[in-house]
Homo-oligomer: A and B are copies of this chain.
Amino acid sequence: MAENHRKDEGFVELGYAKADTDRARRQQAAEVIYGEGKSVEQIAGIVEALLAHGQERVLVTRLDADKAAELAVRKADAFDSHPLRYYDEPRIGIFGDMPPADGKGTVLVIAAGTSDIAVAEEAAVTAEFLGNEVERCYDVGVSGIHRLLARLDVIEKARVIVAVAGLEGALPSVVGGLASAPVIAVPTSVGYGASFGGLAALLGMLNSCASGVSVVNIDNGFGAAFQASLINHLP
Binding site for B on A (CB under 8 A): 1, 9-11, 14-18, 20, 22-23, 26-29, 32, 34, 36-38, 42, 104-105, 112-115, 117, 136, 138-147, 149-150, 159, 167-170, 173-174, 176-184, 187, 189-220, 222-224, 226-227, 230-231, 234-235
B203 near A139 with CB under 8 A, answer no
Residues of chain B contacted by A168 (CB below 8 angstroms):
168-170, 173, 203-209
For A18, list chain B residues within 8 Å (CB). 138-140, 144, 147
In the complex the two chains form, what is the Cα distance from A208 to B222 in whole Å?
13
In the complex, the answer to whether A174 meets B142 with C-beta atoms within 8 Å is yes
Tell which of B174, B234, B235 touches A145, judged by Cβ atoms closer than 8 Å: B174
A193 touches B220 (CB 8 A): yes
- Known contacts A204-B204, A216-B215; A230/B180 CB under 8 A: yes
Assess whether A200 is in contact with B206, with CB atoms less than 8 Å apart: yes
**Closest B residue to A138 using CB positions:** B16
Question: Given A16-B138, A203-B200, A217-B193, are A143 and B210 neighbors across the interface (CB < 8 Å)?
Answer: yes
**With A17-B138, A37-B114 already in contact, 11 other A-B pairs whose C-beta atoms are closer than 8 Å:** A11-B147, A16-B138, A26-B177, A38-B114, A142-B142, A142-B210, A143-B174, A145-B149, A145-B174, A170-B204, A194-B199
CB of B208 within 8 A of CB of A144, answer: no
Q: What's the Cα separation between A9 and B148 when bound, in Å?
A: 10
A194 lies within 8 A of B207 (CB): yes
User: Do A146 and B11 touch across chains, with their CB atoms under 8 A apart?
Assistant: yes
Q: How far is the CB of A4 from chain B (nearest CB, A)?
A: 14
Closest to A211 in B: B226
Closest Cβ–Cβ distance, residue A103 to chain B (whole Å): 11
Instruction: Give the chain B neighbours of A173 by CB distance below 8 A.
Output: 142-143, 168, 170
CA distance A211 to B182 in the complex (A): 17
CA of A114 to CA of B197, assembled, Å: 25
What chain B residues lie within 8 Å of A140 (beta carbons)? 18
